[in-house]
Amino acid sequence: MPLQRGIYRHYKGQLYQVFSVAQHSETQEAHVVYQCLYGDYSMWIRPLEMFMEQVTLEDGTVCPRFALVQSLA
pTM: 0.91
- Rounded to 10 degrees, what is the CA torsion of 71, 57, 34, 44? 180
Per-residue pLDDT reduced to its tens digit, 5-53: 999 999 999 999 999 999 999 999 999 999 999 999 999 999 999 999 9
Query: 1 pLDDT exceeds 90?
Result: no
pLDDT band at 73 (very low <50, low <70, confident <90, very high): confident
Q: Specify the pLDDT at position 54.
A: 97
DSSP bridge partners of 54:
64
The domains found in the chain, sorted by start residue, are 6-71 (2.30.30.320)
Does residue 35 come out as left (phi exceeding 0), alpha (psi in the -120 to 50 range) or beta? beta
How far does Cα 59 stand from its chain's mean position?
23
